[in-house]
Amino acid sequence: MSGAGTGKGKRSAGLLLFRHTDQGLEVLLGHMGGPFFARRDAGAWSVPKGEYEPDEPAWEAARREFQEELGIAPPDGVAIDLGEVRQTNGKVVTAWAIEADLDPAAMVPGTFRMEWPPKSGQVQEFPELDRVEWMGLDRARAVVVPAQARFLDRLAEHSD
């Protein structure tokens, strides 16, 4: 979620952590920070990800952005390529899934700065992700950015 703009032609890469529990498969999603998403739930959750330049490999960007967004090193493990999706804003997102069990309380999200309120001349700092939660696939599908639900479907197919 780093960077600004309309998303047209932009590329993001991220890591979707998953774990197997007694309740089934769970994924780790982040609630997007800042005033636009503060009161939203549906469509306000995302795979921890961020933009990268064309000369940076997507895998390296995914690992870097995980560190920047969550404030902890990305876990090692077998990476499952979940492919890419195009969001409604035109941004292409590439993701990998890694099985890991991290404590959301240990995460210290990165921040971004923006003018808020609009046209006020005041610049405020907001967390990239204001909450990070483990959730089952049904809840995840209900709240994730709609295009990213395909990552959940691909992970579920791989885990069957």
Give the tens place of pLDDT for each residue, 135-147. Answer: 999 999 999 999 9
Q: Say what the pTM is.
A: 0.89
Distance between CA atoms of 81 and 95, rounded to whole angstroms?
7
Distance between CA atoms of 41 and 131, rounded to whole angstroms?
11
Q: Of 12, 153, 16, 151, which is closest to residue 92 (Cα–Cα)?
A: 12
Half-sphere exposure of 73 (CA within 13 A, CB side): 3
Q: Which residues pair with 47 in a beta bridge?
A: none
Give pLDDT tens digits for 20-62. Answer: 999 999 999 999 999 989 889 899 999 999 999 999 999 999 9
122 with 25: CB under 8 angstroms?
A: no
